[in-house]
Amino acid sequence: MKISDILIGIRQKDPVAIAKAISMVENRKKDYTRLLEKIYPLPGRAFKIGITGSPGSGKSSLIDRMINGLKTRGFNIAVLAVDPSSPITGGALLGDRLRMIQHSNDANVFIRSIANRGHLGGLSLSTHEIIDLLQAAGKEIIIIETVGVGQSEVDIVNVADVVLYVLNPGSGDEIQIFKAGIIEIADIFVVNKADLGGSDLKISEIKNYFSLAAKNPLIFPTSAREDQGIEELLSALFKFREEEKGRIEEKTAAVKKNYVEKIVADRLKTEIEQNPSIRAIWRDSADANPFQLAESIYRIIQTGGSHDKKD
């Protein structure tokens, strides 16, 4: 498809066009930046819900139930499941998301697994870009499910308006709350699989930890299997959006700044890799002072000149 056709399809909410656009961005295909430049200004801003938690906590099952509730409210929804990258193909390893398959034929639900591309923060630059593509396609709710591997999860705060941290009764996840810095970034805690028992104890543990910081966390017990607590959680999410509107606006500005910084860093990385003058520096740098090397590279980028130019 031509870029012009893809853009028309995106504006018409065509899932095929949206999928092709995402593939272009993920794989850095030719002209992908031209595609991205043409989606602005965005027609609206989606409510972005980040969901993180340890593997096995039932995040995908929870999202499946949340989709049901959001559909009854008439929302146009997208789900981005950010998975570890395959070391061979670079693509997402856990791309099936079988629990959400029932929504695949719904015109108002778009589900896609994307790779984190090895980024330590869990989210690559393409995640920001794909979120804007989905907003350009009129998605009103975007759920971002992250890999769930401890400290790398904190980057979700750089894309989401609200962050949910999913735990299970008796799982010992409270230790991870502190190790991963989740205590600072989680807005709502979800004690999933509450039907197994022990959720009250888990809720008390979370409250006790937060009492040291004089905070009263939002905590909701849910059971994706029994479809319990989902409506209460969704109501809390929309209440949060209204009550924290000012903070979300400030966060949106910070997210955009983070996005722009990533674009700049990505372009600088490409320049460092491809500039022949910089490559010449590397060839003779075995015993060089790294700070002097950095200064030389910075000057080449700053002036657009070659490494042998004099001040």
Q: What is the pLDDT of residues 184-241, one digit of tens each?
A: 778 999 999 888 888 888 888 888 877 776 678 899 999 988 999 999 999 999 999 9
In this prediction, residues 290-296 reach a mean pLDDT of 88
Residue 87 confidence (pLDDT) above 50: no
- Domain check: are 134 and 32 in the same one? no
Contacts 24+ apart (CB under 8 A), 133-136: 133/10, 133/18, 133/21, 133/22, 133/25, 133/36, 133/39, 134/18, 134/46, 134/78, 134/80, 134/110, 135/42, 135/43, 135/44, 135/45, 135/46, 136/10, 136/11, 136/39, 136/40, 136/42, 136/43
253 CB burial (10 A radius; 0-12, 13-18, 19+): exposed
Q: Which of 214, 216, 154, 155 is nearest to 179 (CA)?
A: 154
| 100 shares its domain with 140 | yes
Answer whether residue 94 shows pLDDT above 80: no
Same-domain check for residues 85 and 195? yes
What is the per-residue pLDDT across 34-78, written as a single tens digit (0 to 9) for each?
999 999 999 989 999 999 887 788 898 999 999 999 999 999 999
Residue 202 belongs to some domain of the structure? yes
Q: Are residues 4 and 130 in the same domain?
A: no
Domain match, 31 and 169 both: no
In a domain, 309, yes or no: no
Residue 107: CATH number of its domain: 3.40.50.300
Same domain, 20 and 101: no
Do residues 60 and 81 make contact, with C-beta atoms less than 8 angstroms apart? yes
Instruction: Say yes or no: 182 and 240 in one domain.
Output: yes
- Residue 97 resides in a domain: yes
In a domain, 289, yes or no: no
Which is more confident, 252 or 140?
140
Last residue of a domain, one of 188, 215, 244: 244
Same domain membership, residue 127 and residue 12: no
Please answer whether residues 182 and 153 qualify as being in contact, where contact means their C-beta atoms are separated by less than 8 angstroms. Answer: yes
Which residue range forms the structural domain that includes residue 67?
A: 42-244
pLDDT at 1 over 80: no
Residues 144 and 213 grouped into a single domain: yes
- Assess whether 165 and 28 both reside in one domain: no
What is the value of pTM for the model shown?
0.84
47 and 186 both lie in a single domain: yes
- Tally of structural domains, the chain: 2
Mean of the per-residue pLDDT values of the chain? 83
Q: Are strands 162-167 and 47-53 parallel, antiparallel or unpaired?
A: parallel
